[in-house]
Every structure is written in structure tokens, then in C-alpha cells.
Structure 1
Amino acid sequence: MPRDTLTPEQIVRTAVELLDDEGLEGLNMRSLGKRLGAAATAVYWHVKNKDDLVLLAADRVWHEVELPALDAADWRGVATAMADRLHAMLVRHPWLVQAIGSHLLYGTGKARYDDHLLGVFETAGFPAQEADRAAGALVTYVLGNALGASAVTSLTRKVRRAGGDAEEQFKETLARAAQVAQPFPRLRARLDTAAATGHGDAPDGTYAAGLRALLEGLRPGGAES
């Protein structure tokens, strides 16, 4: 595909697809050009470098998060929807959690989300500084919960690139971790539960329970609500 037929929209859309398939480690101009059917040099006419491409891709996926209507009477319900939709987007695009830790990300997609989340708390009566803290706590909580899925995806790709069997390596690692846990009674008692069957997995309901506890602990001005 000649450079004059490429568009920024095509490049960013394809970059997101490549990132979803290969992660940050698999993104480079040559691989992207191959997917686009163009030379890597043609991509450089529209995007400065890989960091710029990650920035644009991140902004695109932030726009996927639908924003619920503000509702002062049910602000916790709205905040829950904001958290759940962000979490779902991060699980769809596990590379974004890595990018947040290694790139300075900004753009209209993230700004749109952040502004609306502040609105959730301000509409509920939180003063500006308290709204900032509440929004920061919610986003940090969601990112922390998405980290496990992102790490497993990244580790799986790393093992496969090295020619290994990711599932078998996870199984062997869990078996070694179970041996290490034997002297510790609370861990030992849980080894046969569902919580111990997956690498990086938390018990069912952990995310929802934690989010509920977080939001129940937030009150505008410390007042009952």
C-alpha cells in the first residue's frame, strides 16, 4: 500500500489489532507495515515513532469506554459502571496496562473519561479535592485488578516466543508455589480451592467485593450518603 493511500485512522486501527495480538513487545514499524501491506517507511510519513504510535493507539481504546449519565441519587451505581467499563476495556487490551507503566499517555479519550469520572463525584456533592481523591482511588483499584490478566497475557507470549508451552510452565510454577506454601497453614488450607487453580487468579467475586467496599467507604464531605 503506497504511503499516499494510508490514513492515520488505518494505521492506528491496525496498530491496536497488532498490540492486541502481540503486545507492546510485538509492535514495530516493520510488523505494522506488513499488516498494512506497506513499507515501514510509508508508516513514518504519518507517525513519528513507536512511542507516538502507542500514544495514539491508547487514545483510541480509551474512546471505547461508554460514559453513563450522571446521577446524584445513584452516584455509586454510576461510579460502578465507570469502573466496570474501564476494567472491561483493559481486559480487552491488556497491553494498555503495560503501556501505562512505561509511557506518558494522554489524549482526548483518557481526558474524556477522567473528566466524566470527576463529574460523577462532583455531582454527588464531593468538593473538588475529595472528587480528585475518589476518582484516583477508583482508577487505581481498577488498574490493579486488570494487572493480573495483563501479566498472564504478557508471560504467555514471552514463553511462546521462546518456544515453550505456556500452560505447562504455569502448571509447573503453581506446583512449585504449592510446595513453598506448605509450611503456611492458611495458604495450605486453600491450595485445593478454585483460588489456587490459576496463575494470578483471585477468588471469584474479589473485584466486585473490593469495588463495593471502596465506594461504600466514600462519602461527600464525610457525610452519610
Structure 2
Amino acid sequence: MTNKQPGNRLDPATVIRTALELLDEKGLEVLSTRAVADRLGVRINTVQWHVKTKARMLELMADALVGEISLTGLPAGPGERTRELVRRYRHALLAHRDGAALVVGTFAAEPHTLAFAEALVDALLRCGMDDREAAWTAWTVIYFTLGLTQEEQAADQRPLGAVLASAVSTRSHPALVRVAGHLAPTSFDERFEFGMAKILDGR
């Protein structure tokens, strides 16, 4: 089954939608413009006409992923609005296989990404932060969310708690052994809320 359009007339949205489908099925490591072309049943240069390069395709995919975040129905209070935006960002990343790794590897100054960034920074400014604090807090909470989500999406292959348990002992690393139980794959929701609170409330 392919997403080939009549007369081979494609558009960037179809290419990116197909690329996201392949991402969900096979993961980021095997994603390529050739793989997308094969799925669509067209030549690779037909895909590259719309996305130019793999790097550009990944940027557009990252922006499409962020575009799945609803910016409506947000809480009125700026503090809770900030938290809800970041929660929705994490959920969008988790909705796609390797979603965090996809976004980490790009710098998508594209419409959806800019709209989300605008909403987040505006909420932080309305919390009473000055310009620099709002900008740097936005970066901090995004970096934290990306990093934790990337770990979460890799946890099935290599849980951090299990890695620590096999690599340390009470003699060599007593502190790490002591806390290893708090790094289980089931703790990501709590760790996310804890970290977000530390960033946003620890001014």
C-alpha cells in the first residue's frame, strides 16, 4: 500500500505525513528520503523536489509534530498555562516513535514551532519574568522535556535503573545504588512533574 497521488502529483504535506508514518513504524535510524519515496511509489528526486534533503525533511517533520499540539483550551492563569503547554509538548513527543530524538536533531524555525514557542514565552512573561528569564526558562524547560522524553522512549531497550544496577555496587557507588530504584521506567510521569516544578517554581 502506498500514498501515491494521481499523476504522481505530490505536495510537501503528503511527503511529511508519509515520513511520520514511517517514523512510527521503523524508527528514526532507518528513515530516509529514499524510504519515503519507496513508500509513495515515486522516484527519490520527486520527494527531494519537495523537501530537498533529509535534514530539511526532518525539520518539517519536527514542525508537523509540534503542530499536533493544541494551543486552545488552555488555563487562564499563566503559571498553569505554562505547565499545560509543556505537558502537551511532552505528549506530542511521546505520540511518535523517537519523537524526542527527531526534535532534538533539528532547529525548526517553522510556523507550528514558532506558534508554540510564542505561546510558551508569552505565558512565562505573564508570570512576571523579565525578558531574559522568560527566554532562558523556556529553553530550560524544553531541554529538560526533550532529554527526559528521549530517555523515556529508549527505556524499553535500555532502562537506566537496570543499567545502573548492573554497573555499580554498594562498595564502588553507594549513592547511585541507593537511588537506582527511583529511576525505574514507571517513574517518568512523576519525574517530569518534579523537574518541571523545580524549573518553574525554583526562581
TM-score normalised according to structure 2 size? 0.80
User: Displacement of 1:205 after TM fit?
Assistant: 1.6
Unaligned runs of 5+ in 2: none
Rounded to whole Å, the distance in 1 between the matches of 2:20 and 2:45 is 19
Aligned 8 A contact 2:124 2:134 in 1: yes
Please name the residue that 2:90 is paired with. Answer: 87
Please name the residue that 1:44 is paired with. Answer: 48
Rounded to whole Å, the distance in 1 between the matches of 2:146 and 2:189 is 18
User: Displacement of 1:29 after TM fit?
Assistant: 2.3
1:166-193 alpha-carbon deviations (Å, 9 max, x no partner): xxxx58x9378435233233444556x4
Match of 2:38 among 34, 38, 57: 34
Which shifted more, 30-39 or 95-104?
95-104
Please name the residue that 1:166 is paired with. Answer: none
Please name the residue that 1:110 is paired with. Answer: 113
Aligned 8 A contact 2:137 2:199 in 1: no
Please name the residue that 1:182 is paired with. Answer: 170
Q: Report the RMSD for the aligned CA atoms in angstroms.
A: 2.9
**AA paired with 1:142?**
T
Please name the residue that 1:209 is paired with. Answer: 194
Alpha-carbon spacing, 1:151–1:140, altered in 2? closer, same or farther (3 Å): same
Partner SS, residue 50 of structure 2: coil
Residue identity over aligned pairs, in percent, reads 24
Please name the residue that 1:75 is paired with. Answer: 78
Partner SS, residue 65 of structure 2: helix
Please name the residue that 1:57 is paired with. Answer: 61
Rounded to whole Å, the distance in 2 between the matches of 1:6 and 1:43 is 8
Unaligned runs of 5+ in 1: 157-169, 219-225
Aligned 8 A contact 1:70 1:119 in 2: no
User: Displacement of 1:48 after TM fit?
Assistant: 0.9
Aligned 8 A contact 2:104 2:146 in 1: no
Alpha-carbon spacing, 1:204–1:182, altered in 2? closer, same or farther (3 Å): farther
Aligned 8 A contact 1:3 1:38 in 2: no
User: Displacement of 1:94 after TM fit?
Assistant: 4.7
User: Displacement of 1:62 after TM fit?
Assistant: 0.9
Match of 1:146 among 139, 146, 149: 149
Rounded to whole Å, the distance in 2 between the matches of 1:138 and 1:83 is 8
* Largest Rg, 1 or 2: 1
Alpha-carbon spacing, 1:44–1:136, altered in 2? closer, same or farther (3 Å): closer
Rounded to whole Å, the distance in 2 between the matches of 1:137 and 1:196 is 21
User: Displacement of 1:16 after TM fit?
Assistant: 1.0
Please name the residue that 1:223 is paired with. Answer: none
**AA paired with 1:212?**
A
Count of aligned positions? 196
